[in-house]
Structure 1
Amino acid sequence: MTGLRLNRWHHPVTVLGHGVRAGIWVQGCTIGCHGCASRDTWDPAGGEQAEVLPWLASLPEPLDGLTVSGGEPFQQARALGSLLSAVSAWRGERAFDVLVFSGYPFERLRDEHASVLAHCDAVVAGPYVERRNTGAALRGSDNQRIVTLTSLGERRYGGLEASSAPAMQVLSTGDSIRLIGIPRRGDLDRLRAGLAARGVAAEAVTWLG
């Protein structure tokens, strides 16, 4: 199985999908949406090759699903398809969903990557548009679509269009702090300013590259 080039991976993730999840962030994106909060994932030469399934299989229960974000997952479509095919076989009949975030419109994914979508329960599709960041659930901006692809995906994500109030998860590892989730417009700059007011300098922030 061809390994994805990843920026990072984490468990547990509790804000990017249903329940308690594993999350992976792929490395490499040429879309370059203005205001992207993960510019550290853009460089395709960054990150590292990794085999995800052994890590996923080692995680404790409860484990409700896998979230794939980035970066742009479908710019590594062959490796992504290989991984998700293996995940489909591994999960069997368990209620374990696969949710993928993409900056491409769903129509492009449907036309060019149907074989990958066959292993997804739902996708959040469309480019991030900063001025349309309204705090919609699971969407960085309200032009993006939550598209459900299976009955499990429909049960878990089909009713989220009208939901709001996104949540953020805060992780501290050594001398770094990482936020997981989808910030509202201006949240990250307000956070940085608030830290500065308390004498804490935020260096190498991901949304500034």
Structure 2
Amino acid sequence: MPPSGSSPDAASRLLLAKAHYPVTTLGHGTRAGIWTQGCTIHCAGCLSRDTWAADPRTAVPVAAVLGWLESLPGPVDGVTVSGGEPFEQPAALSELLRGIRSWRGTTPVDILVYSGRVFSRLSRTAESRAILDLCDAVVTGPYVDRLNTGSPLRGSANQQVVPLTALGQARYSLPAGGGESNGGEGPRVQVSMDEGVEGRRVYYIGIPRRGDMARLESAMERAGVHAGDVSWRP
């Protein structure tokens, strides 16, 4: 039987880079994080170059992602969808977000979606507008490395945090001073480790300040720990 958040004939497949719980950055409270695979924007200085290739081997049924979400023990205050570029998979993204909205019911679980495209471009087509209607808030715009100010929600200062619902307004409206909250003070980066067929991988979830990852790699080398392949270098 398919998860309650999906229809029996749901057939969309999502190119998926990673799904992780719990996520304590990139939004309000304790969250589920879903990262799509595939991005053609290729921002200079991107820390997630490993998500650029639209690798068909990463495709999974949207129903499976919704099933994973339903299996989480909780609490789940929100779901963050990032990438990659989620809007490059409009059919799968739309089905995913509809399923999340159905699953949450009346529970205040917010949906926050990241896109490297500016909000005016996303608002231009009916397809993208329909996806925006399923979000509580979006963070939009390309990453610009020189404008990285260590914001907890935005990779760089040019990006917009756009609340789209009352829940989004309550959790993601920027204060008059232009600062923003991530459920805590200052920039936050979460570290997680996965065991997979290719061995052990360490993930950094959140938005580091400009130069933080290079400084971390240098500190690890001094301690005798070699980082190996990293997502923020070509």
| Partners of 2:25 and 2:152 within 8 A in 1 | no
The equivalences for 1:41-56 within 5 A come to: 41-45=51-55, 48-50=58-60, 51=62, 52-56=65-69
| Partners of 1:25 and 1:69 within 8 A in 2 | yes
Q: How many residues are matched? A: 209
Whether 1:165 and 2:165 are equivalent positions in the alignment is no
Secondary structure of 1:155's counterpart equals helix
Q: What's the CA shift string for 1:149-206, capped at 9, x where partnerless?
A: 0000010111364137210001123432111001110000000011011111101101
| Partners of 1:67 and 1:98 within 8 A in 2 | yes
Unpaired runs of at least 5, structure 2:
1-9
The 2-side partners of 1:132 and 1:28 are apart by: 24
User: Which residue is equivalent to 2:7?
Assistant: none
Identity of aligned residues (%): 51
Find 1:202's aligned residue among 227, 230, 233. 227
Q: Which amino acid aligns with 1:12?
A: P
Q: What's the CA shift string for 1:67-91, capped at 9, x where partnerless?
A: 0000000000111011111211221
The equivalences for 1:12-91 within 5 A come to: 12-45=22-55, 48-50=58-60, 51=62, 52-91=65-104
User: Which residue is equivalent to 2:3?
Assistant: none
Whether 1:116 and 2:116 are equivalent positions in the alignment is no
| TM-score, structure 1 as length reference | 0.96
| Partners of 1:28 and 1:70 within 8 A in 2 | yes
Q: CA deviation at 1:46?
A: 5.7
The equivalences for 1:143-158 within 5 A come to: 143-158=158-173
User: Which residue is equivalent to 2:202?
Assistant: 177
Distance change (3 Å), C-alpha of 1:46 and 1:7: farther
User: Which residue is equivalent to 1:142?
Assistant: 157
Q: Which amino acid aligns with 2:91?
A: R
Q: CA deviation at 1:3?
A: 2.1
The 1-side partners of 2:159 and 2:40 are apart by: 18
Q: What's the CA shift string for 1:32-65, capped at 9, x where partnerless?
A: 0000000000001265122311111111121111
| Partners of 1:28 and 1:44 within 8 A in 2 | yes
Deviating above 2 A after TM superposition, structure 1's stretches of 4 or more consecutive aligned residues are 172-176
